[in-house]
Each structure stands twice: as structure tokens, then as C-alpha cells.
A = this chain, B = another copy of it.
Amino acid sequence: MKLFYSPTSPYVRKCLVCAHEIGLIERLSLAPATPHPVQRDRALVAINPLGKLPTLVTDEGTVLYDSRVICEYLDSLAADSLTEGRLIPAAGTARWAVLVNQSLADGILDAAVLTRYETAVRPEALRWDAWVAGQLDKVSCGIADLERRADDWSGRVDLGTVSIACALSYVDFRYPSRDWPALDWRRGAPKTSAWFARFKERPSMRATEPPAA
């Protein structure tokens, strides 16, 4: 399978962490791409018209995106070889809990990435402070919700917790709290912070760390 990727994309990282956790990483070959919301990567657009990462081409030549679809596909492959350890419960309450945690983590990421576009990609004269404030409020409210529910999810390794870890890691990566005091998320989230300190030491997370910002 070929995964179009960049080393700093948190959505790519979700897929890579999943592949590590379920023992499929050796089956992925990585193809670098350079997506950008304005200067679109035409080679990538030819595969995925949205021009976004991650994009997977399966061994049968099927093109899959986005990260949610790819993670579910990888998990389905693992189902053939694992008796336990799947990252997405097949059905029922446990499935919805995992998928909602993924939605929340993806929503935090979407807001953090839009903030990045606003503060690092958009010409300085065209930036809108209220937009950034609105996006960062999503990040803060999202993490506060995780903290309230931490006892429910923090004991598991699943697509929800993988997504949460990738989102928190991206916030740390792009918004060091010395530069962004409003994103010093650990202060108000001791349970989530303690969980993340452990989770980010998993081999799957260590192997997928982005290069220094």
C-alpha cells in the first residue's frame, strides 16, 4: 500500500500510529507530497481531487481518503490477523464512544490547522484576530471536555485515543505555550496531561514524531 504523506501532517500521523499499533506499518510505503491550501500540489490532486493528506492507494489500486476512512480500512485488515487489539469496536456503544472521541480530536485539529493557516500562511495584513480566537476556543473547549470525561477514555488504546494524542501533540508542536499562553492546555487538564505524558511514549508515537518545528 502506498500512503501519500508529509512528516508534519497530524492526520497522516493518525494513520501511521494506527498502522504501528496493529502491526501493519511494514506494509505501507510512504510517498511524500506537499499539500497547501493555496499552492495546490497537482501531483496529489491527480490522485485525490481534494489535494489533501493522507491519501492511501491500496494494493488493489483503490484510492482511499480521508484519515477516518484510511484508519478504518487499516483496522479492517488487522481484523483478519488479530483476535484482539482492533482499534475500532465493531458495533454498539463502544463504537460510538470511540468515533465521537475521534470526531472531537479531529475537530480540535481542524481548528488548530485553520489557526496555523491564519497565522503562518495568510498575508499578515489580512489576518483576523476574532477568527483565531474562535478557533482557539474550540481547542480549549474540546480539551476541557476531554478532561471532564478522562476516566471514561484514558484507559484504552483505540482510534479515539490515538486521535486525541495526535491532536494534543500537534497543539504542542505548533503552539508552544511560551508563545501561545492561551494554549497552555496542561494547566486546566491534569488528567489529560498525565495520560498524554504516558501515551506519547508508546513506540507508535515515538516512531511518528514530527521533525522540530
Interface on A for B, CB 8 Å cutoff? Answer: 36-40, 45, 49-52, 62-66, 68-69, 72-73, 76, 91, 93, 96, 99-100, 103-104, 107-108, 111, 122-123, 126-128, 130-131, 133-135, 137-138, 141-142, 144-145
Copies held by the complex: 2
Q: How far is the CA of A141 from the CA of B35 in the complex (A)?
A: 14
- Given the known inter-chain contacts A69-B100, A96-B73, please indicate yes or no for A131 contacting B122, CB distance below 8 A: yes
| Interface majority SS (helix, strand, loop, mixed), chain A | helix
Pick the contact of A96: B40, B62, B141 (CB < 8 A).
B62
Which chain B residue has the least Cβ–Cβ distance from A63? Answer: B100
Nearest B residue to A127, CB-CB: B126
Q: In the complex, are the beta carbons of A128 and B123 less than 8 A apart?
A: yes
Measured CB to CB, the nearest residue on chain B to A46 is B141
Q: Which residues of B contact A108 (CB under 8 A)?
A: 50
Which of A52, A111, A135, A141: most chain B CB closer than 10 A?
A141
B69 pairs with A96, CB closer than 8 A: yes
